[in-house]
Structure 1
């Protein structure tokens, strides 16, 4: 039995942001309709190495596709010349359970996370949103901004920078992809004066204060993806319509996990899951004055629906390498 092997260059040649957004939106819709089997991601914590390993399985019932992603987060990897996040995705036959494809999941993770932010902004941001504020300028910030550029007309991007050289690199890379003005700010407060705020930091103490965020802002909170992480002032959550990607997963590893554990908010303060909005079960933004927050933890359904798209394109185009498994 042969398995299709797709390395990162193969995956990059087969996946663009517009396709990722369309796939992820479909995945969220199926999740909202309760047509997926998706246990919350499981974690192994390597405390002496400052890292963790996560497994993320899912079965999409209508599409009849299944698979699992194995992904790490090691913040110190840059010192070793490695990405902070690395991943492998396995697609499995639902008829036999046999592996169909094994592919790089690092690029998929970056793209599907950005795509989720794009889908969230499509349903939750004001239609006249043109100014983006960014807290964090790493790889996740790049795909977040790229996805936003596919769902709205971006005129200005404000960057919060402690290290100006990082912001310079970000502007250089993204200005080739998006035609807009880039403004570099010395503090986070200044970038919060925006239409859409994107936070992509690994912090464990809030860096965005409630009083800095004006009414009508939409926030994509991306950085909190494990127990103990939080980027936003809990008082901001209480002022806002909070939408999570998955209630169970967000409760133990999303932006809401710390304030929930401390009793600062309750599950009643969480409006719904994004998939329920995409599926039309609940309305998204209902007024220009609302502050909306999308709490993104990253779902296996995003990975597998995107990986299946890549797999189908690879078969059509004859890309990848067949490897004998048995």
Structure 2
């Protein structure tokens, strides 16, 4: 069993554009993958430990390999970092445990890539003003994917001021020529003027935008971590999710006006936005499907590279206790 560290993953220099391509690929496999719903336990308050299994379809062109993985992700208040994850990757054809992967990079980049893909699929035609609140690694990953997936498109990004995070965020993208920034102190101003509103806030005690009417016609809202925008659920024209089984127990799910999965839009079976004035909200709860596909790609890139390994000695014959 290989031990694949974050350092080994970073050494591959995977581009944000590649991360976006992997999201399109993984969504295309959703109908043929086995994707059980997540199982979560809550040690205390808002802390959680969640298991995310997925069996990918058999690998095309190689009948000896079919990847299964289970990612365990946790958020524990006070730990550093507060959010962490690991994955066990198996070959389902023979049950072999192939690798233990540090999954923090996977979680961050696939989450950002999903937000970028969803925004592009659901935004109005001439959308170019993006609003970001919650300016941690997930927001950075999302904007990296947005900018590198469409280098020919100009974006204007409005950042919600918090301490010095907005300044550091803008500095990170100083070398990108297809983006400009404004730093805004009032979240309602961002809500009023953004074509795409992306929240990467990981916790919210109440609503982020008290009056959902603040959002302009034609807006696309993406609450990456599900928090603080539920007042849009029953009033927006369309609601999307990454997997119905994962979000069907959301409080307002029965009241969604016009719901479908984002994968149906990507596959061309749903038009997504039906008019330039529709207001749309998209909940991507996070799928083990993306994590396992990313892990399988990384494993294949690193399987012939020296990494720490653990020899697992298994019985080769039936034994009696």
User: TM-score, normalised to structure 2's length?
Assistant: 0.87
Q: Which has the higher contact order (CA 8 A, sep 6+)?
A: 1
Alignment correspondent of 1:297: 285
Q: Distance in 1 between matches of 2:41 and 2:186?
A: 35
Q: Does 1:259 align with 2:246?
A: no
Q: How many residues align?
A: 301
**Structure 1 unaligned blocks of 5 or more:** 225-229, 261-265
The partner residue of 1:119 within 117, 128, 145 is 117
The partner residue of 2:56 within 56, 60, 63 is 60
Alignment correspondent of 1:323: 310
How far is 1:319 from its partner? 5.1
Q: Does 1:198 align with 2:198?
A: yes
Q: Does 1:129 align with 2:127?
A: yes
| Aligned residues of 1:118 and 1:150 also touching (Cα < 8 A) | no
Q: Distance in 2 between matches of 1:139 and 1:258?
A: 28
**Structure 2 unaligned blocks of 5 or more:** 60-65, 314-321
Q: 1:259 to 1:76 in 2, by over 3 A?
A: farther
Q: Does 1:87 align with 2:85?
A: yes
Q: Distance in 1 between matches of 2:175 and 2:204?
A: 29
How far is 1:97 from its partner? 1.5
| Aligned residues of 2:17 and 2:148 also touching (Cα < 8 A) | yes
Decide which moves more: 233-242 or 194-203: 233-242
Work out which of the two has the higher radius of gyration on C-alpha atoms and give 1 or 2.
2
| Aligned residues of 2:239 and 2:258 also touching (Cα < 8 A) | yes
| Aligned residues of 1:210 and 1:233 also touching (Cα < 8 A) | no
How far is 1:241 from its partner? 1.1
User: TM-score, normalised to structure 1's length?
Assistant: 0.86
> Alignment RMSD, CA only?
1.9
Secondary structure, in 3 states, of the residue corresponding to 2:297?
helix
**Higher helix fraction (1 or 2):** 1
| Aligned residues of 1:203 and 1:223 also touching (Cα < 8 A) | no
How far is 1:185 from its partner? 1.0
Q: 1:271 to 1:319 in 2, by over 3 A?
A: farther
